[in-house]
Structure 1
Amino acid sequence: MQRSFNNGNAPSIESSRIAHSIGTALDRFIKNNQDQFAYASGELSQLLRDIALASKVVNREVNKAGLIDLMGAVGSQNLAGDDQQKLDVLANIRFTRALAKGGEVCALISEESDTYVDLNNEGKYVIAIDPLDGSSNIDVNVSIGTIFSIYRRKSPAGTPIQPTDILQKGSDQVAAGYVLYGSSTMLVYTTGHGVNGFTYEPTLGEYFLSHPQLKMPEDGKIYSINEGLANSFPAAVQEYIKYCKDCQYTARYIGSLVADFHRNMLKGGIYIYPATAKSPQGKLRLMYECNALAFVAEQAGGRATNGKDRILDIEVKELHQRTAFYVGSKNMVEKAESLGIH
Structure 2
Amino acid sequence: MKRLNSQLQQDGAPLELILLIRTLLAACKEISFRVSQGALAGVLGSTLSENVQGETQKKLDVISNQILKDTLRESGYVKAISSEEEEDVVPCSPDGNYLVSFDPLDGSSNTEINSLIGTIFSITHAPQWMEADDPSAFLQPGTQSVAAGYVLYGPSTMLAMTTGKGTHIYTLDKTHGGFLLTKPNIELPTQTSEFSINASNQRHWEDPMQRYVADLILGADGPREKDFNMRWVAAMVGDIHRVLCRGGIFMYPFDNRNPEKPGKLRLLYEANPMAFLVEQAGGLADTGEGRIMEVMPTEIHQRVPTIIGSKEEVETCLSYYK
Match of 1:321 in 2: 302
Task: Please name the residue that 1:107 is paired with.
Answer: 80
Aligned to 1:238: 210
Task: Say if 2:180 is the partner of 1:208.
Answer: yes
Q: 1:79 Cα shift? A: 1.3
User: Cα gap change, 1:140/1:155 in structure 2, threshold over 3 Å: closer, same or farther?
Assistant: same
Pairwise CA distance, 1:162: 4.1
Mapped contact 1:223–1:269 kept (Cα < 8 A): yes
Q: Residue 275 of structure 2 aligns with which residue?
A: 294
Cα pair 1:217 1:266 within 8 Å, conserved: no
List per-residue Cα deviations over 1:77-103 (Å, max 9, x = no partner). 111121110000100011111111211
Structure 1 residues 327 and 155, CA, compared in 2 at 3 Å: closer, same or farther?
Answer: same
Deviation string 1:109-131 (CA, Å, 9 cap, x unpaired) is 00000010001331100011001
- Which residue pairs with 1:46 in the alignment? 19
1:75: how far off?
A: 1.2
Superposition deviation, residue 33 in structure 1:
2.2
* Counterpart for residue 273 of structure 1: 252
Structure 2 counterpart of 1:153? 126
In structure 1, the residue matched to 2:264 is 283
Question: Counterpart of 2:232?
Answer: 253
Q: Is the 8 A contact 1:188 1:196 kept in 2?
A: yes
Compute the displacement of 1:279 (Å): 4.0
Whether the aligned pair in 2 keeps the contact of 1:155 and 1:162 (CA below 8 Å) is no
Q: Which residue of 1 aligns with 2:61?
A: 88
**Which letter maps to 2:313?**
M
Give the % identical residues.
37
Q: For the residues of structure 1 that align with 2:216 and 2:247, how far apart are their CA atoms? A: 14
Instruction: Name the CA distance, whole Å, in 1 between partners of 2:124 and 2:182.
Output: 26
1:264 and 2:247 matched: no
Deviation at 1:213, TM superposition (A): 0.7
SS of the residue corresponding to residue 297 of structure 1 reads helix
Task: Say whether the 8 Å CA contact 2:3–2:179 is kept in structure 1.
Answer: yes
Distance 2:100 2:170 in 1: 21
Matched AA of 1:323: V
CA distance in 1, matches of 2:181, 2:93: 34
TM-score, length-normalised on structure 2?
A: 0.94
TM-score (norm 1): 0.88
CA deviation map 1:237-269 (0-9, x unaligned): 111112212231110001000000010111110
Conserved 8 A contact 2:76-2:93: no
Deviates more, 1:228-237 or 1:109-118: 228-237
Question: In 1, are the aligned partners of 2:4 and 2:179 still within 8 Å (CA)?
Answer: yes
| 1:4-29, Cα deviation, whole Å (9 max, x unpaired) | xxxxxxxxxxxxxxxxxxx1122333
Q: Distance in 1 between matches of 2:132 and 2:211?
A: 49
Distance 1:122 1:81 in 2: 33
2:309 pairs with 1:332: no
The aligned runs of 1:156-195 (5 Å cut-off) are: 156=129, 160-195=132-167
| In structure 1, distance between residues paired with 2:6 and 2:243 | 28
How far apart, in 2, do the equivalents of 1:256 and 1:339 lie?
26
5+ residue gaps, structure 1, are 1-22
SS at match of 1:183: coil
The answer to whether the 8 Å contact 2:3/2:178 transfers is yes
Alignment of 1:21-100 (within 5 A): 23-30=1-8, 32-33=9-10, 36-37=12-13, 40=14, 42-100=15-73
User: Using a 3 Å threshold, how does the CA distance of structure 1 residues 160 and 255 change in structure 2: closer, same or farther?
Assistant: closer
> How much has 1:156 moved relative to structure 2?
4.1
SS of 2:17's partner is: helix
2: CA distance, partners of 1:145 / 1:162: 28
Deviation at 1:163, TM superposition (A): 4.6
CA 1:316–1:67 in structure 2 vs 1: closer, same or farther (change >3 Å)?
same
> Cα deviations across residues 44-82 of structure 1 (Å, max 9, x unaligned)?
010110111111100000000210110001111111121
Instruction: Tell me, in whole angstroms, the C-alpha distance in 1 between the residues paired with 2:70 and 2:46.
Output: 22
Q: Distance in 2 between matches of 1:26 and 1:121?
A: 28
- Tell me by how many angstroms 1:302 deviates: 0.5
Partner-residue secondary structure (3-state), 1:315: coil
Residue identity in the other structure for 1:222: E
Q: 1:227 aligns with which of 189, 195, 199?
A: 199
Please give the per-residue CA displacement for 1:108-159, whole angstroms capped at 9, x wherever unaligned: 00000001000133110001100100022111100001110000012248x5
Contact in 1 for aligned 2:88/2:135 (Cα 8 Å): no
Residues 1:160 and 1:183: Cα distance change in structure 2 (over 3 Å): closer
CA distance in 2 between counterparts of 1:323 and 1:248 reads: 29
Aligned residues: 313
Give me the whole-angstrom Cα distance separating, in 2, the residues matched to 1:76 and 1:69: 17
RMSD over equivalenced CA pairs, Å = 1.4
